[in-house]
Amino acid sequence: MRPTEKASDYVIIGAGSAGCALAYRLTEAGKTVTIIEFGGSDVGPFIQMPGALSYPMNMARYDWGFASQPEPHLGGRSLATPRGKVIGGSSSINGMVFVRGNPQDFQHWHDSGATGWDYAGVLPYFKRMETWHGDPDGAQTSALRGSDGPLHITRGKRKNPLFNTFIKAGQQAGWPRTDDYNGAQQEGFGPMEATIWKGRRWSAANAYLRPAKKTGLLTVLRGFARRVVFRGKRAYGVEIETKGRIVTIEARHEVIISASSINSPKLLMLSGIGPADHLRDHGITPLADRPGVGANLQDHLEVYMQYTSLKPITLYTYYNLLGKGRVGVEWLLQKTGLGASNQFESCGFIRSSDAVDYPDIQYHFLPLAVRYDGKTAAKGHGFQAHVGPMRSQSRGTIRLASGDPSAAPEIRFNYMSQPSDWAEFRACVRHTRRIFDAPAFAEFRGAEIQPGDAVQTDAQIDDFIREHAESAYHPCGSARMGAADDPMAVVDPELRVIGVEGLRVADSSIFPRITNGNLNGPSIMTGEKAADHILGRQMLREEV
């Protein structure tokens, strides 16, 4: 018999994007909550300074260090799969870009069995969670945006002329402008939004967890979750390892897994919920045979289209020890300057062809030619666009490598396994060249660094993608939501794990299909909406 700790009303596994939001709303309702987090403190400039975003996701202190199995359609490469191992989860190590997704994404969720998760059903939760600050030079209010939520959403000042040049070039290449891709119109080029407030990363920990702790109803417990424990088929707690002991943290009402799209299906399987034969192979007695656990894994891939700059106006000026030092000192003293921005200040959402109903390509523009992880900056001034398709049809799996809870799971994204993926990615490359060939870039655009002018044919572009495509770090879908009678669904539309009682999942693993854009926003929304389901409240709806 494991020793048990004092019970809370609810036990949440994971102090990440959804888990923090959920803890906040449950304590706001007067419930006691224990949140279990393996990672440590998020205090310090590497996390809190937006301009330092390339550091935490490459630090073992903050990142689980996952990687995919060799990907057969990407030349056998194993791709990094960072997930936050720190208070705030991946919201403490991500790029801070805020994208809700497209309304049609959520209609697809609803149509595929996630009843009530259409746009009308999620919009009120997006609004409830945010304080939207609009554009520094434009609108500050909108009927589609929130004005008093915990999560501050801001825009950079776009002082570097290249940011607005990218927006103008997109229009010259034939696409519209959008003044708010999270509002009435996603399609087009415009300013990008970020979870940054007063020069700091406004993570789920800053927005939700710290206020929740002030209520006195929240306990944050440092420990490694091993499995959910059951009496019969009802979850009553979580077995964790902490301070060299294995103890059980009990929940009076429910256990909620919010451990990420990588760790949540792993925990479900370790707890006896998953494909029965796979569980038996690892010595685990099946409690609920749910073949959808660990299936339906999705992600966004992207490539970096890079150009030299004819003018010395890019961030390369600061890409040296002295320059970084100056940026860091200004941020430490005043929370201003380049360190107060993630440098993703303009973007685009476009359709790969007129036959596509709504945008299926996303752009992040950056006034520097460098990898997302901060490595291999081009020697000299340059700029780039991160570009990739939004709705790949490829699906992968999360599987146990061992019945040992400490073993990392096996991650197989099966990237680029569908012919349509290649066609969409070729469109990404060719559309991007159109944008950078637009008149607005004439005074800035030098040689194409990557892929390079020699890469023109379908076969050449395919080779470039195979060698250079990287994850945009948006894994999701591995415990998908659907109708209770859907054999491949893992949770029902109230996020209850099908086949057991007293257990829910609330994070990006429940997404039926990946949304347009970065996933932090939809993940936090999931935590917000989950709280109302758990509390038995009337669900919010807002028809548009």
Task: For residue 204, give the nearest of 154, 133, 151 by alpha carbon.
Answer: 151
Rg over alpha carbons for the chain, rounded to the nearest Å, is 22
* Rounded Cα–Cα distance for residues 446 and 528 (Å): 46
Partnered with residue 37 across adjacent β-strands are 222
**CA distances to 5, 14, 59, 86 from 204, in Å:** 26, 12, 20, 11
* Rounded Cα–Cα distance for residues 56 and 115 (Å): 37
* Rounded Cα–Cα distance for residues 51 and 34 (Å): 32
Indicate the class that CATH gives domain 157-190+301-389+417-468: alpha beta
Task: For residue 75, give the nearest of 359, 462, 365, 380 by alpha carbon.
Answer: 462
CA 406 to chain centre: 24
- pLDDT tens per residue, range 245-268: 999 999 999 999 999 999 999 999
Q: At what angle do helices 17-28 and 520-534 cross, to 10 degrees?
A: 30
**CA distances to 309, 338, 411 from 323, in Å:** 19, 10, 38
* Rounded Cα–Cα distance for residues 412 and 403 (Å): 18
Residues annotated as part of the active site: 474
Q: Assess contact for 177 and 189: CB atoms under 8 A.
A: yes
Q: At what angle do helices 458-468 and 419-436 cross, to 10 degrees?
A: 100
* Rounded Cα–Cα distance for residues 264 and 509 (Å): 7
Contacts of 311 (CB under 8 A, 6+ apart): 381, 443, 444
pLDDT of residue 1: 46
pLDDT of residue 544: 85
Strands 301-309, 445-450: parallel, antiparallel or unpaired by DSSP? antiparallel
- pLDDT tens per residue, range 265-277: 999 999 999 999 9
pLDDT of residue 375: 64
* Rounded Cα–Cα distance for residues 259 and 523 (Å): 11
How much is the pTM? 0.97
Residue 161 DSSP SS3: helix
pLDDT in tens, the chain (544 residues): 466 667 999 999 999 999 999 999 999 999 999 999 999 999 999 999 999 999 998 899 999 999 999 999 999 999 999 999 999 999 999 999 999 999 999 999 999 999 999 999 999 999 999 999 998 777 778 999 999 999 999 999 999 999 999 999 999 999 999 999 999 999 999 999 999 999 999 999 999 999 999 999 999 999 999 999 999 999 999 999 999 999 999 999 999 999 999 999 999 999 999 999 999 999 999 999 999 999 999 999 999 999 999 999 999 999 889 999 999 999 999 999 999 999 999 999 999 999 999 999 999 999 999 876 666 667 899 999 999 999 999 999 999 999 999 999 999 999 999 999 999 999 999 999 999 999 999 999 999 999 999 999 999 999 999 999 999 999 999 999 999 999 999 999 999 999 999 999 999 999 999 999 999 999 999 999 999 999 999 999 998 8
Q: Which residue has the tokens 């010259």?
A: 172
pLDDT of residue 377: 62
- The beta-strand segments (E) located in 14-121 are 33-37, 66-67, 80-81
Task: For residue 207, give the nearest of 11, 10, 14, 16 by alpha carbon.
Answer: 16
Q: Which two tokens stand for residue 353?
A: 């062809």
Length of the chain: 544
Partnered with residue 386 across adjacent β-strands are 304, 364
Amino acid at 494: E
Partnered with residue 346 across adjacent β-strands are 191
Indicate the class that CATH gives domain 1-154+192-298+397-402+475-544: alpha beta
Q: Which two tokens stand for residue 46?
A: 């590497």
pLDDT of residue 267: 98
Q: Assess contact for 204 and 94: CB atoms under 8 A.
A: no
Which residues make up the CATH 3.30.410.40 domain(s) of the chain? 157-190+301-389+417-468
* Rounded Cα–Cα distance for residues 29 and 414 (Å): 42
**CA distances to 86, 122, 185, 505 from 101, in Å:** 25, 11, 11, 20
